[in-house]
């Protein structure tokens, strides 16, 4: 009888355990290429945080790719609970196509829903053999530039906007900026769809003299390939990258995951979330955390995209939609 009772208790315990396990929430975060290392660290920290509060450990799945390509996948039905992109245009697309998020999504979290920032840098071969120090150097004869496609990658768009903004800051007009950016992209031998593909082209396939990317990707390259393989150059002007995040309302309301999805994003602004950002070479918003890492974040002459080019919907329509300025200066090859 005791054995039967014990077995019943064990079975009940297993059933309860299975039920609890089944009830643990599951999230899909659709993100962009160069955030793999950050979310590997952050997800583990968030799971621990959520478990301490709710006595359950959520499952967090990740999807990575070129930012705009990822947004397109969500529009086409990929059931993302949260979307963590590297520019607002990609989340605006979710509002404009199927109202997957509300039009005012950017106001729901602090700092325009961007928990950290980043700068554009040049990754050059060891010793910087072609002496590439600023934007005009990239259009020198014989220089090959590796950068992802601005139509599919936020990384590529920030490069485009930084180069355009450089021309304006140096006194050039829109015509001169268009000419310079067109010349820059004439030096691009191949357009990968995302930042990770561009890194592979440059570091593994040894194509190009310079890779233009985010400063946090420079650190990821160092960890993967070694710090003796390249040098990092900060150009004189960089558009300030503000990678935004949002809950995908239509998905979380259907799945019943809104509470955990919202907390997952809010925790990015926590002291722990900001420390993880800094450790992955993303510039934290928290001034106290940023002050601890001044050695790894040089002062940069940041260009505000919205003050320079207008709101993100205007930027997208003018420069990156089909038939926009980028298509005019970089006809299909």
Rounded to two decimals, the pTM is 0.87
**SS3 string of 37-57?**
HHHHHHHHHHHHHHHHHHCCC
Give dist(CA 188, CA 142) in Å, integer.
11
Closest by Cα among 119, 85, 92, 179 to 303 = 119
Domains of the chain in start order, with CATH, are 2-117+243-291 (3.40.190.10), 120-240+301-329 (3.40.190.10)
Q: pLDDT tens, position by position, for the chain (333 residues)? A: 544 444 444 444 444 444 444 568 999 999 998 899 999 999 999 999 999 999 999 999 999 988 888 999 999 999 999 999 988 999 999 999 999 999 999 999 999 999 999 999 999 999 999 999 999 999 999 999 999 999 988 899 999 999 999 999 999 999 999 999 999 999 999 999 988 899 999 999 999 999 999 999 898 899 999 999 999 999 999 999 999 999 999 999 999 999 999 999 999 999 999 999 999 999 999 999 999 999 999 999 999 999 999 999 999 999 999 999 999 999 765
Give dist(CA 309, CA 239) in Å, integer.
11
């Amino acid at each position: 009888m005791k054995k039967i009772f014990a077995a019943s208790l064990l079975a009940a315990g297993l059933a309860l355990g299975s039920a609890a396990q089944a009830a643990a929430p599951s999230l899909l975060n659709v993100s962009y290429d160069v955030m793999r290392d950050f979310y590997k660290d952050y997800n583990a920290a968030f799971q621990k945080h959520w478990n301490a509060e709710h006595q359950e450990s959520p499952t967090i799945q990740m999807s990575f790719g070129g930012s705009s390509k990822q947004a397109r996948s969500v529009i086409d039905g990929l059931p993302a609970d949260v979307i963590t992109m590297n520019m607002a245009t990609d989340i605006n697309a979710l509002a404009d196509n199927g109202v997957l998020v509300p039009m005012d999504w950017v106001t729901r979290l602090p700092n325009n829903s961007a928990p950290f920032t980043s700068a554009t840098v040049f990754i050059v071969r060891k010793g910087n053999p072609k002496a590439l120090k600023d934007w005009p150097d990239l259009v020198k004869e014989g220089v090959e530039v590796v950068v992802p496609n601005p139509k599919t990658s936020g990384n590529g768009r920030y490069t485009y906007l930084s180069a355009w903004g450089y021309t304006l800051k140096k006194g050039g007009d829109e015509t001169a900026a268009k000419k310079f950016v067109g010349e820059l992209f004439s030096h691009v031998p191949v357009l990968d769809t995302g930042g990770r593909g561009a890194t592979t082209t440059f570091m593994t396939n040894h194509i190009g003299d310079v890779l233009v990317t985010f400063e946090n990707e420079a650190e990821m390259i160092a960890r993967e390939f070694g710090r003796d393989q390249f040098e990092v150059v900060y150009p004189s002007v960089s558009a300030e990258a503000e990678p935004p995040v949002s809950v995908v309302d239509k998905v979380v309301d259907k799945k019943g995951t809104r509470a955990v999805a919202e907390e997952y994003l809010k925790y990015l602004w926590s002291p722990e979330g900001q420390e993880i950002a800094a450790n992955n070479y993303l510039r934290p918003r928290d001034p106290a955390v940023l002050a601890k890492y001044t050695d790894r974040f040089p002062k940069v002459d940041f260009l505000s995209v919205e003050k320079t080019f207008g709101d993100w919907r205007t930027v997208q329509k003018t420069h990156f939609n089909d038939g926009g300025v980028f298509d005019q200066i970089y006809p299909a090859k």
